[in-house]
Structure 1
Amino acid sequence: MATFNSTTVDSTPLLMADPPETVANTVDYKRRPAVRSKHGRWFSAFFIIWVEMAERLAYYGISANLISFLTGKMEQSTAMAAANINAWSGVSSLLPILGAVLADSFLGKYYTIIGSSIIYILGLGLLTLSAMLPSLDCLNQGRSIMGAPGCSPHLQIVIFFIALYLVAVGQGGHKPCVQAFGADQFDGEDPRESKAKSSFFNWWYFGVCVGGLLGIGVLSYVQDNLSWGLGFGIPCIIMLLSLIIFLLGTLTYRYTMKDEGESPFMRIGRVFAAAVKNRNATIPVVGDSNEEVMQETEDNDGSRQFRFLDKAMLAPQISKRIGKSCSKSEVEEAKAVRRLFPIWATTLIFAIVFSQPATFFTKQGITLDRSVGSRFAIPAAALQSFIGICIVIFIPIYDRVLVPIARKLTRNPSGISMLQRIGTGLFISIFTMVVAAVTEKKRLETATRYGLIDLPKVTIPMSIWWLLPQYVLFGISEAFTMVGLQEFFYDQVPNELRSVGLSLYLSIFGLGGLLSSFLVSVINKATSRGGEESWFSNNLNRAHLDYFYWLLAGFSALGLALFVYFAKSYIYNKSKARL
Structure 2
Amino acid sequence: MENSASHVDEVVMQSSSARKNGGWITFPFIIATMAGLSLAAGGWTSNLIVFLINEFNMRSIAAAKVFNVVNGLTTIFPILGGIIADSYLGCFSVIWISSLISAMGIFLLLLTAAINALKPLACGDGSNLCTSPSTNQYVFLYVALALASIGIAGTRFTIAPMGAYQFDKPKHQAMFFDWYIFIFYLCWALSTAFIVYVEDNISWTWGYGISVACNILGLAIFLAGKRFYRHVKEQGGSPFVNLARVVVAAIQKWRVPLSEQTQHYYHDPSDKTTLVPTKFFKFLNCAAFITEGDTKPDGSISKPWRLCTVQQVEDLKSLIKLFPLWASGLLISTQLVMQLSLLTLQALKMDRHMGPHFEMPAGSMLVFILLFTCLAIFIIDRLLNPFLAKYTSFTLTPLQRVGIGHSLTIACMAVSALVESRRLRIARSHHLQGKKDAIVPMSVFWLLPQLALNGIGEGFHFPGHIAFYYQEFPTSLKNTSTAMVSLFIGIAFYLGNVLIDLVQRQSGWLPDNINDGRMDNVFWLCCTLGSVNFIYFLVVSYFYKYKNMDSKPNDVASK
Q: Structure 2: how far apart are the matches of 1:522 and 1:558?
A: 19
For 1:348, which of 327, 330, 333 is the aligned residue?
330
For 1:44, which of 18, 21, 26 is the aligned residue?
26
User: How big is the shift at 1:481?
Assistant: 0.6
Whether the 8 Å contact between 1:316 and 1:322 is mirrored in structure 2 is: no
User: How big is the shift at 1:69?
Assistant: 5.0
Letter in 1 for 2:177: F
1:511-535 CA distance string (max 9 Å, x none): 11122223333433444xxxxx5x4
Whether the 8 Å contact between 2:337 and 2:493 is mirrored in structure 1 is: yes
**Match status 1:166 vs 2:166:** no
Whether the 8 Å contact between 1:348 and 1:511 is mirrored in structure 2 is: yes
Q: What's the secondary structure of 1:541's corresponding residue?
A: helix
Which residue in 1 is equivalent to 2:283? 308
Q: Determine what percentage of the aligned residue pairs are the same residue.
A: 30
Q: Structure 2: how far apart are the matches of 1:120 and 1:276?
A: 43
Count how many residue pairs are aligned between Structure 1 and Structure 2: 527
From the superposition, tell whether residues 216 and 137 of structure 1 become closer, same or farther in structure 2 (CA, over 3 Å).
Answer: closer
Letter in 2 for 1:482: F
* Equivalences for residues 66-465 of structure 1 within 5 A: 66-69=48-51, 74=57, 76-77=59-60, 84-131=66-113, 138=120, 151-154=131-134, 158-188=139-169, 194-258=170-234, 262-278=237-253, 280-284=254-258, 290=264, 303-317=278-292, 324-407=306-389, 411=393, 415-465=395-445
Q: What's the secondary structure of 1:339's corresponding residue?
A: helix
From the superposition, tell whether residues 277 and 215 of structure 1 become closer, same or farther in structure 2 (CA, over 3 Å).
Answer: farther
From the superposition, tell whether residues 566 and 86 of structure 1 become closer, same or farther in structure 2 (CA, over 3 Å).
Answer: farther
1:485-544 CA distance string (max 9 Å, x none): 1101111112231111112121111111122223333433444xxxxx5x4433232344
User: How big is the shift at 1:84?
Assistant: 4.6
Whether the 8 Å contact between 1:201 and 1:487 is mirrored in structure 2 is: yes
Letter in 1 for 2:534: L
Q: Structure 2: how far apart are the matches of 1:150 and 1:70?
A: 13
Q: Structure 2: how far apart are the matches of 1:287 and 1:223?
A: 68
Gaps of 5+ in 2: 1-8, 268-273, 296-302, 555-559
Which residue in 2 is equivalent to 1:549? 523
User: How big is the shift at 1:226?
Assistant: 3.8
Q: Structure 1: how far apart are the matches of 2:381 and 2:222?
A: 26
Whether the 8 Å contact between 1:56 and 1:211 is mirrored in structure 2 is: yes
From the superposition, tell whether residues 550 and 34 of structure 1 become closer, same or farther in structure 2 (CA, over 3 Å).
Answer: farther
**Match status 1:35 vs 2:15:** no
Q: What's the secondary structure of 2:197's corresponding residue?
A: helix
Whether the 8 Å contact between 2:88 and 2:234 is mirrored in structure 1 is: no
User: How big is the shift at 1:314?
Assistant: 2.1
Q: Structure 2: how far apart are the matches of 1:161 and 1:419?
A: 40
Q: Structure 2: how far apart are the matches of 1:520 and 1:541?
A: 17
Letter in 2 for 1:103: A
**Match status 1:564 vs 2:538:** yes
User: How big is the shift at 1:577?
Assistant: 0.9
Q: What's the secondary structure of 2:290's corresponding residue?
A: coil
CA RMSD of aligned residues (A): 3.4
Provide the TM-score with structure 2 as the length reference. Answer: 0.84
From the superposition, tell whether residues 467 and 524 of structure 1 become closer, same or farther in structure 2 (CA, over 3 Å).
Answer: same
User: How big is the shift at 1:262?
Assistant: 4.8
From the superposition, tell whether residues 312 and 301 of structure 1 become closer, same or farther in structure 2 (CA, over 3 Å).
Answer: closer
User: How big is the shift at 1:277?
Assistant: 3.1
Q: What's the secondary structure of 2:233's corresponding residue?
A: strand
Letter in 2 for 1:26: V
Q: What's the secondary structure of 1:255's corresponding residue?
A: coil
User: How big is the shift at 1:130?
Assistant: 4.1
Q: Structure 1: how far apart are the matches of 2:436 and 2:18?
A: 62
Q: What's the secondary structure of 1:462's corresponding residue?
A: strand
Q: Structure 2: how far apart are the matches of 1:64 and 1:501?
A: 26
Structure 1 residues 514-523 or 370-379, which shifts more? 514-523
Whether the 8 Å contact between 1:217 and 1:382 is mirrored in structure 2 is: yes
Provide the TM-score with structure 1 as the length reference. Answer: 0.82
Q: What's the secondary structure of 1:25's corresponding residue?
A: helix
From the superposition, tell whether residues 236 and 440 of structure 1 become closer, same or farther in structure 2 (CA, over 3 Å).
Answer: farther
1:322-357 CA distance string (max 9 Å, x none): 764211111122222222211111110112123245
Q: What's the secondary structure of 2:482's corresponding residue?
A: helix
Q: Structure 1: how far apart are the matches of 2:98 and 2:385?
A: 35
